[in-house]
Structure 1
Amino acid sequence: MTRYGYQYVVLRCVPRVEREEFLNVGVVLYSQAADFLEAAYRVDEARLRAFAPQVDVEDVDQALETICQVCRGVTGGGLPTLGGLGRRFGWLSAPRSTVVQPGPVHGGLTEDPAAELAELLRRLVDPA
């Protein structure tokens, strides 16, 4: 079986940047060798509202959907034109001060990047 190296970032909802508190809401996984870049997210609205009652859940969903569009290479309408998967992952993993922020870059090996993305989402985002 072929094993592919990959990098990923956990997407965090940071409702008040100055407090540095966050709730994990998604994952972006990139594998150059497998030609794979995808994001997956799951927003537990009740959990997010309990964590940050003032947060606009629709804004969080929209930010996460924008990340998915960048992964797919969608451009126009305010989305960046970035070229290849590596450049898109670099843009997605860059630090920013918005309500949805990427965490640090981590890496690993997998035989199936899509299955690994689903497992990371389950392990790092879904409530325990």
Structure 2
Amino acid sequence: MSAAHHVCVVDDDQSIRIALASLLRSLEYEVETFESGTDALRWLAWHQTACVVSDLQMPGLSGLQLCQAMLDMGIRTPVLLITAYPTAQSEAKALGLGVHAFLTKPVSARVLEMHVQNAIAAGLTGR
């Protein structure tokens, strides 16, 4: 499958990581999963993906730090951040980093699908 059909899922919670990956696979995306931002960043340094779906709060490298590190490395892949603990401050920081969407857990399958499709389309057009 091409990078245009590939999504990375980053979440330290295994059950959420598995659920998100299963949903995305059911939508016919190829999915790579990571339990840490550091692991995802290592992979992203050598591989292309159409979209990253990441938890905001993780031990080590947070979702925001992952986004900043991606930018620092020149990786302009669209990112969706998901959190169970949204704050106006974290949302503002995320949007300031160019995050495509800032979503609150639990995220419905339909909402996630829509945001992934929009992020991939925006990434393909360079927006």
Bigger radius of gyration among the two: 1
Q: RCO (CA 8 Å, sep 6+): is it higher in 1 or 2? A: 1
